[in-house]
A and B are shown apart, each in its own frame.
Chain A
Amino acid sequence: MTALDFICLAPFLLLASAPIIIMLTITITRNIKVVYGFSLLMFLLSFISLFIVAPYIPHVIAPLFIIDSYSLLFLAIIIFAGFLITILSYIYISQQGDDKEEYFIILFVAALGASVLVVANHFISFFLGLETLSISLYILVAYIKTRSYSIEAGVKFLVIASVASAFLLFGMGLIYTATGSMNFKGVASALGSLHALSPILLTGFVMLLVGIGFKLALVPFHMWLPDVYQGAPAPVTALIATISKGAVLAIALRFFMDIQGFNNQAIFIALSAIAIISMFTGNLLALNQGNLKRMLAYSSIAHFGYLLITLLAGSTEGIHSAIFYIASYIITTLGAFGIISLLSVCSGNADSIDDYKGLFYKNPFMAIVMSLAMLSLAGIPLTAGFIAKFYLVLAGVKSGLWLLAFSLVINSVISLYYYLRVVTTMFTTSDQVKPSTIPLMGNLVLVVIVIGILFLGILPAWVSDIIASLS
């Protein structure tokens, strides 16, 4: 490896060194404040290191990694989300029992796994990144071990995610058998010389699709998601909803674009069907949910159904709209889960939608942030969600995906019902007016999220220009 390779790997080296240093500090003294401050510092440093890497892209570290503008943007999103989740986690976890410091170690390992995923260019780095991410998520989901439902969610997540990995691996193995290459570009060039897909190759792609479907929780592989969302501590749910899913989508998009999967009729039809079924199932099941976390889980199934459009569009507009959609989805979801986790700290678990009755009269700022997040998820103008959906429909229509664009629009209308229900619940009066205060840092996170949602919604050109200019 050359010195340039090490410079380009700086964000990863920083993220990887953080758990080791935290472990060393724990051996000296157990102080959650030190660990927390250090975690924030490391996320900040790795974010700054992205600017050091930026002049050297695109840079390939053969054979495993490729660091280009696409992966750099996703890295920025992941590290930014990791920073906000660290603050939310600290507020949440410092109210719990013992052994709080190790949480941040595993948080960093999860962020590292996700970062490896977005630069992966090879089946080995794909698999290792995914497993680093998943295994640390099993631990985080079941982190608060006095809660039986967290353990239940952890066991369910472990079984389902391992099966997904097995499918993914078997699919990778079959593709390797048929093409003789594990590098994405190598697979693509081997595919280019083939006229028809052999049974081995087709089975390989189907199993790979099943594995990714499980990880992204697309219908019919979505059953685990609501349980895990509900059982996990609120900041961990935010981590799964943002970093984990975003990174898996990034690698799926890269692989799909490299092998030009949208050109194959069978794969195209299968993915379109999954996309449409995911949109409808997610939104229809969310309609009748009394639990906010489960509702957001079903809504996330629908949102990833929308995002499949970017895979099928097969154009640079598709990739750009995917990055914009992920960015706005992550900031919006962080807003929603941020409120849930801050409220859970003040008053036990704030899962049920009824817990939000009269929130506006108790804490107007929180209610306004939550309303903004819900409106953005629904895709109301002036919020990030609207612009993201607009770009998505635009990319779909440009590639002639009328059916998918049409069902996206219908589903946006369906989803309005349950998002607005949360908003109206917060503005109804309730007898138990008990003002809830949130820590300063929590307020800071919420302010950042509000600025993010409004900025992406009102001045999207600034961000979309950056995305367009990079690739």
Chain B
Amino acid sequence: MVTVSLEVQILFAGLLFLIGLVGLLVRRNIIFMLMSIEIMLNSAGLVFVIAGSHWAQADGQVMFIFILTVAAAEVSVGLALILQMYHHFKTLDADALNTLRDKNER
């Protein structure tokens, strides 16, 4: 069996994180932005799994389960907010959310 070194595994997780970050910055559709955030969270979970197997501890996997749970809670709130957003703004374009800003009234 071929073993992959720790650095390569971490680099892979880092690449996944970057994909998520770039997706978040490039995409304007709020659902795709939420998906990119999920990718970022899961890449962080992957780091914990890698570290857990590297140190032969269960802690990494335990943390991953917590991350999954929290990400699910976050997405459920996120989707509810997106429904409300569509209700008010009639679009899923994040750029439409621009009513709150500095006005410099004075």
User: Whole-angstrom distance from the CB of A103 to the nearest CB of chain B?
Assistant: 15
Are A135 and B74 within 8 A (Cβ)? yes
Determine chain A's interface SS by DSSP, over half rule: helix
**Complex Cα gap A200–B60 (Å):** 17
Cβ contacts B21-64/A at 8 Å (1 or 0 each): 10010000010011001001101110110110011010110110
The answer to the question of B70 belonging to the interface, with a C-beta cut-off of 8 Å to chain A, is: yes
**Complex Cα gap A123–B104 (Å):** 41
Q: How many residues of B contact A (CB 8 A)?
A: 51
Are A138 and B81 within 8 A (Cβ)? yes
Interface centre among B40, B50, B81, B106 (most CB of A within 10 A): B81
Are B48 and A176 within 8 A (Cβ)? yes
User: Whole-angstrom distance from the CB of B31 to the nearest CB of chain A?
Assistant: 11
Are A152 and B100 within 8 A (Cβ)? yes
Are A152 and B97 within 8 A (Cβ)? yes
Which chain A residues lie closer than 8 Å to B101 at the CB level? 227
**Complex Cα gap A200–B54 (Å):** 14
User: Whole-angstrom distance from the CB of B92 to the nearest CB of chain A?
Assistant: 10
User: Whole-angstrom distance from the CB of A391 to the nearest CB of chain B?
Assistant: 33
Are A138 and B77 within 8 A (Cβ)? yes
Cβ contacts B56-98/A at 8 Å (1 or 0 each): 0101101100110010011001100110110011000010010
Are B51 and A162 within 8 A (Cβ)? no
Beyond A166-B37, A174-B47, whether A288 also contacts B81 by CB under 8 A is no
Residues of A155-170 whose CB lies within 8 A of B:
155-156, 158-159, 162-163, 165-166, 169-170
Residues of A243-297 whose CB lies within 8 A of B:
285, 288-291, 294
User: Whole-angstrom distance from the CB of A299 to the nearest CB of chain B?
Assistant: 14
Are A182 and B105 within 8 A (Cβ)? no
Are B40 and A142 within 8 A (Cβ)? no
Which chain B residues lie closer than 8 Å to A352 at the CB level? 105
User: Whole-angstrom distance from the CB of B78 to the nearest CB of chain A?
Assistant: 5
Of all chain B residues, the one with the shortest Cβ separation from A128 is B66
Are A169 and B51 within 8 A (Cβ)? no
**Complex Cα gap A124–B57 (Å):** 14
User: Whole-angstrom distance from the CB of A356 to the nearest CB of chain B?
Assistant: 13
Are A291 and B54 within 8 A (Cβ)? no
Of all chain A residues, the one with the shortest Cβ separation from B76 is A135
Beyond A162-B37, A290-B106, whether A180 also contacts B55 by CB under 8 A is yes
Which chain B residues lie closer than 8 Å to A11 at the CB level? none
Which chain B residues lie closer than 8 Å to A166 at the CB level? 17, 20, 37, 40-41, 43-44
Cβ contacts A294-309/B at 8 Å (1 or 0 each): 1000000000000000
Beyond A149-B99, A231-B100, whether A159 also contacts B37 by CB under 8 A is yes
Cross-chain contact of B103 among A138, A152, A158, A291 (Cβ < 8 A): A291
Cross-chain contact of A123 among B30, B34, B63, B81 (Cβ < 8 A): B63
Are A165 and B97 within 8 A (Cβ)? no
The answer to the question of B15 belonging to the interface, with a C-beta cut-off of 8 Å to chain A, is: no
Are A173 and B48 within 8 A (Cβ)? yes
Are A163 and B24 within 8 A (Cβ)? yes
Cβ contacts A122-146/B at 8 Å (1 or 0 each): 0110011001000100110010010
**Complex Cα gap A290–B106 (Å):** 6
**Complex Cα gap A182–B48 (Å):** 10
Cross-chain contact of B102 among A148, A154, A165, A226 (Cβ < 8 A): A226
Are A145 and B84 within 8 A (Cβ)? yes
Residues of B5-20 whose CB lies within 8 A of A:
6-7, 10, 13, 17, 20
Closest 5 CB pairs of A and B: A290-B105, A173-B47, A169-B44, A166-B40, A177-B51
Q: A156-B97, A162-B41 are in contact. List 10 more A-B contacts (CB 8 A).
A: A142-B84, A149-B99, A151-B81, A151-B84, A166-B37, A166-B40, A170-B13, A173-B44, A289-B104, A290-B103
List chain B positions with a Cβ less than 8 A from chain A. Answer: 6-7, 10, 13, 17, 20-21, 24, 30, 33-34, 37, 40-41, 43-45, 47-48, 50-51, 54-55, 57, 59-60, 62-63, 66-67, 70, 73-74, 77-78, 81-82, 84-85, 88-89, 94, 97, 99-106
- A–B complex contacts, Cβ < 8 Å, 18 sampled: A124-B59, A139-B77, A142-B84, A148-B88, A151-B84, A154-B81, A156-B100, A158-B78, A163-B21, A163-B24, A166-B43, A170-B47, A173-B48, A173-B50, A177-B10, A177-B50, A180-B51, A294-B102
